[in-house]
Amino acid sequence: MSKLDNPVIKMLSWKVRKLSIDEVVQVLAALSTIQDRVFTLTDVINLLPKDVCESRQKRRSVGTLLQNLAELGYLSKPSERKWVKNAPSFSHYLNQFILDLSSLEKSLQPQRQYEKEKIVKIVEKPRRLLR
């Protein structure tokens, strides 16, 4: 599966029109390189390629992506301009939710009840021939 086929990346890119799927991947990669500390949007921007750094619209889209990740719970905002990661990477963060989803799907599957069928066969008594 390529990064263009990844449904999670596609969903993240829906709300950030100015960023391509490849650039969304680059932002997630940049976030994963940031160690457990408070960071700002500028810190993330400085880790991205030059074309994203120089485009005002793309920088704003990176901010929108960070806000979307905060709504999902991967990031937290201790103050107006600072961010903190709640997991080492986005994949680590999603891992527990995928396991929870799997258990929900298993618990909500309709249970088929297999009953033993009784087969009743009517056998006629052989008729006696009349002599």
Write down the pTM of the prediction.
Answer: 0.75
Question: What integer pLDDT is reported at residue 131 of this predicted model?
Answer: 62
How wide is the angle at C-alpha 9 spanned by C-alphas 7 and 10, nearest 5°?
Answer: 60
Edge-to-edge strand list for the sheet holding 82-85:
39-40, 82-85, 75-76
Q: What is the pLDDT of residue 115?
A: 65
What residues does each domain of the chain span? 7-107
As averages over each run of 10 residues, the pLDDT of the chain (131 residues) reads 78 92 94 91 95 94 96 94 92 87 78 68 74 62
36-54 per-position pLDDT tens digit? 789 999 999 999 999 999 9
CB contact set of 75 (below 8 Å; sequence gap of 6+)? 31, 66, 69, 83, 84, 85, 86
Phi, psi of 97 (to 5 degrees): -70, -35
Q: What is residue 32's predicted lDDT score, i.e. its pLDDT?
A: 92
Res 1: pLDDT:
59
Q: State residue 3's pLDDT score.
A: 64
CATH code, 7-107: 1.10.10.10
Q: Per-residue b/e over 76-105, b at no fewer than 16 CB within 10 Å?
A: eeeeeeebebebeebeebbeeeeeeeeeee
